[in-house]
């Protein structure tokens, strides 16, 4: 069984949320970890685990980040981690479907991510690396991120749908 760990210097964990339904706010988690274990070279037997430090959330706006860390959203003090544990990685038409359980605020729900394997390569230092891009959507309210506001005209301030974008590079451990 080959074990792989995330190369955080070459990986990104992002989310995108519509603001006022007219523009998109992008956020990142700056501190995260991930592991992958697989025997098959095509990774179809992979077991993947991931966690992100909620306190590392960054939307390029300190006031908004503080609001996201508050009990209106993630409650970073009480629930410091967001986690994911895979249940399957299936290959279909050259792409992958990753299924697993996402936990936010101690609420666990199944999620499905579309995954693309960028490839496997050896870096100049002799390390074997594998790159993946994963995208998906969740409804934030299903995970207890309930804050909501409406504009004077009746528009939604923050959409319920959140896009997840992961660019993860794993390093094979010897």
* Helical ranges in 9-150 per DSSP H: 62-69
End-to-end Cα distance, the chain = 11
Q: What is the pLDDT of residue 22?
A: 59
Three-state secondary-structure class, residue 31: coil
Q: What is the pLDDT of residue 172?
A: 96
Greatest Cα pair distance, the chain, in angstroms, is: 59
DSSP 64-92: HHHHHHSTTTT-TTT--EEEEEEEEEEEE
Tokens of 140: 């934030």
pTM for the model stands at 0.89
pLDDT tens digits for 108-165? 999 999 999 999 999 999 999 999 999 999 998 898 877 665 555 554 456 788 899 9
Q: What gap in Å lies between CA 4 and CA 124, rounded to an integer?
A: 18
Tally Cβ neighbours within 10 Å of residue 146. Answer: 12
Q: Give Rg (Cα) of the chain.
A: 17
Percent of the chain with pLDDT over 70: 90
Q: What is the pLDDT of residue 43?
A: 92
- The CATH H-level (homologous superfamily) assignment of domain 2-173 is Lipid/polyisoprenoid-binding, YceI-like (2.40.128.110)
Q: What is the pLDDT of residue 161?
A: 81
> Domain residue spans in the chain?
2-173
Q: What is the pLDDT of residue 137?
A: 95
Tell me the pLDDT of the chain averaged across its residues: 89
Residue 60 contacts by C-beta under 8 Å, 6 or more apart in sequence? none
């Amino acid at each position: 069984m080959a074990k792989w760990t995330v190369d955080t210097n070459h990986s990104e964990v992002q989310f995108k949320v519509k603001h006022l339904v007219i523009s998109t706010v992008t956020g990142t988690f700056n501190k995260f970890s991930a592991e992958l274990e697989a025997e098959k070279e095509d990774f179809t037997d992979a077991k993947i685990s991931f966690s992100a430090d909620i306190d590392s959330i960054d939307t390029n706006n300190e006031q908004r980040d503080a609001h996201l860390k508050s009990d209106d959203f993630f409650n970073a003090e009480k629930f410091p981690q967001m986690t994911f544990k895979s249940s399957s990685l299936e290959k279909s038409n050259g792409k992958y479907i990753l299924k697993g359980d996402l936990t936010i605020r101690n609420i666990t729900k199944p999620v499905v991510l579309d995954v693309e394997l960028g490839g496997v390569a050896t870096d100049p230092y002799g390390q074997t690396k594998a790159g993946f891009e994963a995208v998906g959507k969740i409804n934030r309210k299903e995970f207890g991120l309930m804050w909501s506001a409406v504009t004077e005209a009746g528009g939604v301030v923050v959409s319920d749908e959140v896009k997840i974008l992961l660019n993860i590079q794993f390093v094979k451990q010897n």
